[in-house]
Amino acid sequence: MRIASDNRTAGIEYPAPQSDAHIRPPAAAGPGGIGLASWVTYLSLEMNPFSASPAQIVEELTKLGWKPVWGSWDFAWDWGNRWQPNANNAGFWQNIAKAHKVLQSLKVDFSFRTFEKGKETGSVWWH
């Protein structure tokens, strides 16, 4: 989680990864088999002086099914092959709407990014 100061200068990151021992390697194929894509949505958070406590944020997001991760993002949702670009993806939008509502109530700044597994633009350590 990035914690912004009152004057919006550079924030600090907590927790910092201790080693690369648990880095998730790029996926060669999705859980459905060779050739089927596997997708993951990442959630980045930035706290401010009015945000809920980190423990409360983690508790609320894990209740919804989000997994804490270390690295370029703070949480992840593994879609497997249930999410496809340019498809209906109703489950995706319902999940995002629920998380959006919870995050608003926790008063944190946030952003979502969805990638095909192994094509992320940053490092990710899964717990």
Taken as a whole, the chain contains a residue count of 127
| Residue 26 belongs to a domain | no
Number of structural domains found in the chain: 1
pLDDT single digits (tens) 52-72: 999 999 999 999 999 999 889
pLDDT at 73 over 80: yes
| Residue 20 belongs to a domain | no
The three state secondary structure string of the chain is CEECCCCCCCCEECCCCCCCCCECCCCCCECCECCCCCEEEEEEEEECCCCCCHHHHHHHHHHHCCEEEEECCCEEEEEECCCCCCCCCHHHHHHHHHHHHHHHHHCCEEEEEEEECCCCCCCEEEC
- As a whole number, the mean pLDDT across the chain is 76
pLDDT at 43 over 90: yes
Which of 20, 37, 118, 22 shows the shortest CA–CA distance to 80?
A: 37
Average pLDDT for 25-33: 41
Which structural domain range is residue 96 located in?
Answer: 2-6+38-126
| Residue 115 belongs to a domain | yes
pLDDT at 34 over 50: no
pLDDT-above-70 percentage for the chain: 68
Does residue 81 contact residue 39 with C-beta atoms inside 8 Å? yes
- Identity of residue 81: N
Beta bridge partners of 109: 46
| Residue 114 belongs to a domain | yes
| Residue 63 belongs to a domain | yes
| Residue 17 belongs to a domain | no
**pLDDT bucket at 37, cuts 50 / 70 / 90:** low
Per-residue model confidence (pLDDT) at position 67:
94
pLDDT at 36 over 80: no
Does residue 84 contact residue 15 with C-beta atoms inside 8 Å? no
Kindly report the CATH number assigned to the domain that includes residue 80.
3.30.70
Per-residue model confidence (pLDDT) at position 46:
96
